[in-house]
Amino acid sequence: MKRGLPSNCGCGGRITKFTSSTQENPGRPFFRCETRGEDHLFKWVEEAMLEELEDVLPKVEVHETEIAKMKSEIEELMEIALNNKIEIQKNKVVMKCIVVYACIVSLAFGAYVLY
C-alpha cells in the first residue's frame, strides 16, 4: 500500500474519511475506499499522518541545512554591502577633499596669474 495520506484506492475509487463507531475504536478517524471490501483501501488517519510525517521529516532537515546555508550567505552579503557602504562614504570624503584642493589650487593659480 502507498505510504502517507491516500489519494485514491487501487481500484481507482475515491477515498473518503470516516469516523469509526466500533467499540474497539470509537471516534477513531479512518480513510476508506467508497467501495467497501477486502481489496479496497482502508487506513487509519493517524497511521497515514505518521507515514506522511516520517517521509517529510528528512526533507525538512534538508531544508533546514539549506536555510542555514542561505542565512550565512545573506550575512556575508550584508557584510559586503556594509563594507561597500563604508567604502563609498570614504570615497565621498576623498572626493570632497579633492574638490576643495582643486579649488584652492585653481584660486592660487588664478591669483598667481593675475598678480
Positions that interact with Zn ion (CB under 5 A): 9, 11, 13, 33, 35, 40
| Alpha carbons 15 and 39: distance in angstroms, whole number | 13
Nearer to Zn ion, 35 or 106 (CB): 35
**CB 40, min distance to Zn ion, A:** 3
Nearer to Zn ion, 10 or 110 (CB): 10
| Alpha carbons 46 and 102: distance in angstroms, whole number | 79
The three grid cell numbers given for residue 81, joined into one nine-digit string: 554591502
**CB 20, min distance to Zn ion, A:** 18
Nearer to Zn ion, 3 or 90 (CB): 3
**CB 10, min distance to Zn ion, A:** 6
**CB 51, min distance to Zn ion, A:** 19
CA 112 to chain centre: 67
| Alpha carbons 27 and 30: distance in angstroms, whole number | 9
Query: Which helix (DSSP H) or strand (DSSP E) does residue 15 occupy?
Result: strand 15-19
